[in-house]
Amino acid sequence: MIYVFDSNTFRIIGHYFPERFPSFWKKLNEYTAEGKIISVREVYNELSHQLVKKHLTEWVKKNKKIFLSPTAEEMKFVGEIFKIKHFQYLVTQKQRLKGTPVADPFVIASAKINLGYVVTEEESKPNSAKIPNVCEHFKIKCMNLEKFMKKEGWEF
Query: Tens digits of per-residue pLDDT, 19-47?
Result: 999 999 999 999 999 999 999 999 999 99
Any domain includes 67: yes
pLDDT score for 121: 98
Q: What is the DSSP string of 73-135?
A: HHHHHHHHHHTSGGGGGGS-HHHHHHT----HHHHHHHHHHTT-EEE-S----TT---HHHHH
pTM above 0.75, yes or no: yes
Q: What is the overall mean pLDDT for the chain?
A: 95
pLDDT score for 51: 83
The H or E element containing residue 72 is helix 72-82
CATH number for the domain including 133? 3.40.50.1010
Any domain includes 77: yes
Query: Tens digits of per-residue pLDDT, 78-120?
Result: 999 999 999 998 987 778 778 788 999 999 999 999 999 999 9
Any domain includes 156: no
Do 110 and 38 form a contact (C-beta atoms < 8 A)? yes
Enclosing domain of residue 25: 3-151
